[in-house]
Amino acid sequence: MSNCQYSECEKKYIKKHFKVSRSKKFKRNLICFFICFIFIIILLVYYLSKVVNPIMYTYGEATIQKLLTISSNNAIGDIISTMQYDDIVKIKYDDNGDVITIEAISSKINQISNNLAKKTQEEIDNSSKLGINIPIGTCSGIGFLSGKGNNINISIEPMGNASCNFYTTFEDAGINQTNHKIFVNIETEASLIMPFAFKKVKKSTSYLLAECIIVGKIPSVYLGTHDISYLK
């Protein structure tokens, strides 16, 4: 019998030995693959949280601030164009021409507030549907890649309802003349939904609603006052 020939027992042993070796090698490779995979996932999460998310925060917050401002501007534009000072304020004088009372027309103020808040919220809802598109190059944090590549769309969720608060100021405009200004402050809020996090963005914008030069002495209770409760 030739030396290169093996008995059946030897053949079975060799075959079993190779199977065991291949099985161990496969297990080692599989373990190495999972370790590398987990390590890559950890690096990816770290990169997203430390590099990508802050960039998306900054970019997204600036975009939402602009969106909220535009929504407020669009909402108030029509109201201001048709508003008159006398529509919301009544001034009563005494026989000497001095101011007795400055009274807001509550029904008109409430109507303006409700319409303005509703229209502002509608503007925000319509603008939020498109979300925010951020180029991949911008998210990378690498300067020369900024603004390049396909866009990543980030969702925007409107939060609550837009709210309006009114306040007034009195400024000296000359002898026995006072400039009375009425402002409306529109507060809006939206939420930026990003990978692994979300961010609430608030915007408060004030607009001059109406003004009038009042001739005559004004009671001292009004002078120098920046927030009159009857206008809230």
Structural contact between residues 157 and 193, judged by C-beta atoms closer than 8 angstroms: yes
State pLDDT tens for residues 25-58. Answer: 767 777 888 888 888 888 877 777 777 777 777 8
Q: What angle do CA 205, 72, 227 make, to 5 degrees?
A: 35
Domain boundaries of the chain, sorted by first residue: 9-231
Structural contact between residues 231 and 104, judged by C-beta atoms closer than 8 angstroms: yes
% of the chain at pLDDT higher than 90: 0
Q: 């199977």: which residue's tokens? A: 19
Q: 């093996």: which residue's tokens? A: 6
State pLDDT tens for residues 70-99. Answer: 888 888 887 777 778 888 888 888 877 777
Round to whole Å and give the CA distance between 120 and 114. 10
For residue 57, the Cα-to-chain-centroid distance in whole angstroms is: 10
Tokens standing for residue 231: 């206008």
Q: What angle do CA 92, 95, 99 make, to 5 degrees?
A: 35
Q: Give the pLDDT mean for 49-70.
A: 80
Q: Mean of the per-residue pLDDT values for the chain?
A: 76
Q: What angle do CA 65, 68, 69 make, to 5 degrees?
A: 85
Q: DSSP states of 43-75 as a string?
A: HHHHHIIIIIHHHHHHHHHHHHHHHHHHHHHHH
Amino acid at 67: L
pTM for this model (two decimals) = 0.65
Tokens standing for residue 157: 């969720």
Res. 158 pLDDT band, cuts 50 70 90: confident
